C-alpha cells in the first residue's frame, strides 16, 4: 500500500487530481503559488456570498422567506442565534452573530468539500485549523478588551480573592500566568479537535478505498474485498457528513463560550 497516496486527500498541493486521470495544475499568480486549499477556501467564501446576500436582502425587506433551501438556511441561522450565541455570550450577543454565523458556515463548507472527489478538506490540515483557532483567540481578546478595557481584560484573568497582606504579590502573578496559559491551551485544543476529527475521517475513507486497488492477485479476492470496502466507505462517508456539521457546531459553540467568558470578569 502506497502510504503517500493515502495522505493526498488531506494534504495541500498545487494540483487538483480528479478521477479518471484528470489533473489541473494551479498557476503562480504574482509570485504566489496557488494551492488546492486556497482555491477551496475561496470557493466556500464565494458560495456563502451567493447564498446569503440574497437571503439577507429578503429578510431586510420583511418579506417571508420562501423555498425549502432558504428556509433550511434560516433554520441554521436561528438555531445558532437562539441556542448557541445568546445563551453563551449573554447581553449584547447579537452583535457577534455575523462573526459566529460566518465562522460556522465557512468551517462547514470546508468540511463538506472534503466529500467531493478530487477536492479535499482544508480543515484536515493543522495549518488551516491553527489559523481558525488564532482567529477565535483574537476575537476573544478584542471582545474582552472592548467590554472590560484593554488593561481590565488582562487584570480580570486573575479571580478576585481575599488574601493576607503580601501573599497576593506572590499568588496573583502565578495565577495570571496559569490563566493566560490556560487561555492558550483552550484554543490549542480547539485547533486540534477540528483538525484531528476531519483528518482521521478522511484517512479512514482513503484506507478503505485503497484496499480495492491493492488487491490484484485474484479476481475473486478482489470482489470479496471490494464489496465490504465500498459498504464501509459509504457508511463512513455518511458519518463524515454528520461530523462535518458537528465539528462546525462545536467550534462556534466553544468560540461563543470563550467570548462570553472573556467579556465578563472572573
DSSP 162-197: ---TTTHHHHHHHHHHHHHHHHHHHHHHHHHHHHHH
Q: Residue 141's pLDDT is what?
A: 93
C-alpha Rg value of the chain to the nearest Å: 23
Q: Residue 159's pLDDT is what?
A: 75
Cβ atoms < 10 Å from Cβ of 169: 9
Q: Residue 30's pLDDT is what?
A: 85
Three cell numbers at 137? 483567540
Cβ atoms < 10 Å from Cβ of 75: 11
Of 124, 120, 113, which is closest to residue 192 (Cα–Cα)?
124
Tens place of pLDDT for every residue, the chain, 266 residues? 444 455 555 677 787 777 667 788 888 888 888 888 889 999 999 999 999 998 888 888 877 778 888 889 999 999 999 999 999 998 889 999 999 999 999 999 999 988 887 788 888 888 899 999 999 999 999 999 998 888 888 888 887 777 677 777 778 888 888 989 999 999 999 998 888 888 777 666 666 666 566 555 556 666 666 667 677 767 777 778 888 898 999 999 999 999 998 887 65
Q: Residue 7's pLDDT is what?
A: 55
Confirm if 191 and 126 have CB atoms less than 8 A apart. Answer: yes
Total structural domains in the chain? 1
Task: DSSP letter for 117, please.
Answer: T
Q: Residue 214's pLDDT is what?
A: 58
Q: Residue 120's pLDDT is what?
A: 80
Domain that holds residue 168: 3-262
* SS3 of residue 264 by DSSP: coil
Three cell numbers at 163? 488574601
d(CA 25, CA 13): 9
Asked whether the whole model's pTM tops 0.75, one would answer yes
Contacts of 256 (CB under 8 A, 6+ apart): 84, 85, 88, 89, 93, 96, 100
Phi-psi region of 66 (alpha: psi -120 to 50; beta: other; left: phi over 0): beta
Q: Residue 3's pLDDT is what?
A: 46
Q: Residue 4's pLDDT is what?
A: 47
Of 259, 253, 255, which is closest to residue 84 (Cα–Cα)?
253
d(CA 175, CA 59): 47
Per-residue model confidence as pLDDT tens digits over 4-42: 455 555 677 787 777 667 788 888 888 888 888 889 999
* SS3 of residue 2 by DSSP: coil
Q: Residue 1's pLDDT is what?
A: 45
Amino acid at each position: 500500500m502506497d502510504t503517500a497516496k493515502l495522505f493526498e486527500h488531506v494534504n495541500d498541493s498545487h494540483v487538483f487530481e480528479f478521477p479518471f486521470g484528470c489533473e489541473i495544475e494551479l498557476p503562480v499568480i504574482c509570485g504566489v503559488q496557488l494551492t488546492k486549499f486556497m482555491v477551496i477556501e475561496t470557493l466556500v467564501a464565494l458560495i456563502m456570498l451567493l447564498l446569503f446576500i440574497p437571503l439577507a436582502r429578503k429578510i431586510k425587506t420583511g418579506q417571508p422567506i420562501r423555498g425549502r433551501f432558504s428556509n433550511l438556511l434560516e433554520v441554521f441561522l436561528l438555531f445558532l442565534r437562539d441556542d448557541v450565541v445568546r445563551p453563551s455570550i449573554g447581553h449584547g450577543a447579537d452583535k457577534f452573530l455575523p462573526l459566529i454565523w460566518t465562522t460556522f458556515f465557512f468551517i462547514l463548507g470546508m468540511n463538506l468539500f472534503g466529500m467531493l472527489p478530487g477536492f479535499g478538506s482544508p480543515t484536515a490540515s493543522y495549518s488551516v485549523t491553527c489559523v481558525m483557532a488564532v482567529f477565535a483567540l483574537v476575537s476573544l481578546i478584542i471582545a474582552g478588551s472592548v467590554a472590560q478595557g484593554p488593561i481590565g481584560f488582562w487584570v480580570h484573568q486573575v479571580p478576585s480573592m481575599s488574601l493576607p497582606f503580601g501573599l497576593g504579590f506572590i499568588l496573583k502573578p502565578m495565577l495570571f500566568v496559569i490563566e493566560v496559559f490556560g487561555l492558550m491551551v483552550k484554543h490549542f485544543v480547539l485547533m486540534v479537535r477540528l483538525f484531528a476529527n476531519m483528518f482521521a475521517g478522511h484517512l479512514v475513507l482513503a484506507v478503505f478505498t485503497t484496499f480495492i486497488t491493492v488487491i490484484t492477485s485474484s479476481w475473486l479476492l478482489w470482489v470479496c474485498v471490494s464489496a465490504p470496502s465500498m459498504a464501509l466507505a459509504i457508511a463512513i462517508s455518511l458519518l463524515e457528513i454528520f461530523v462535518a456539521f458537528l465539528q462546525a457546531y462545536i467550534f462556534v459553540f466553544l468560540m461563543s463560550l470563550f467570548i462570553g467568558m472573556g467579556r465578563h470578569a472572573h
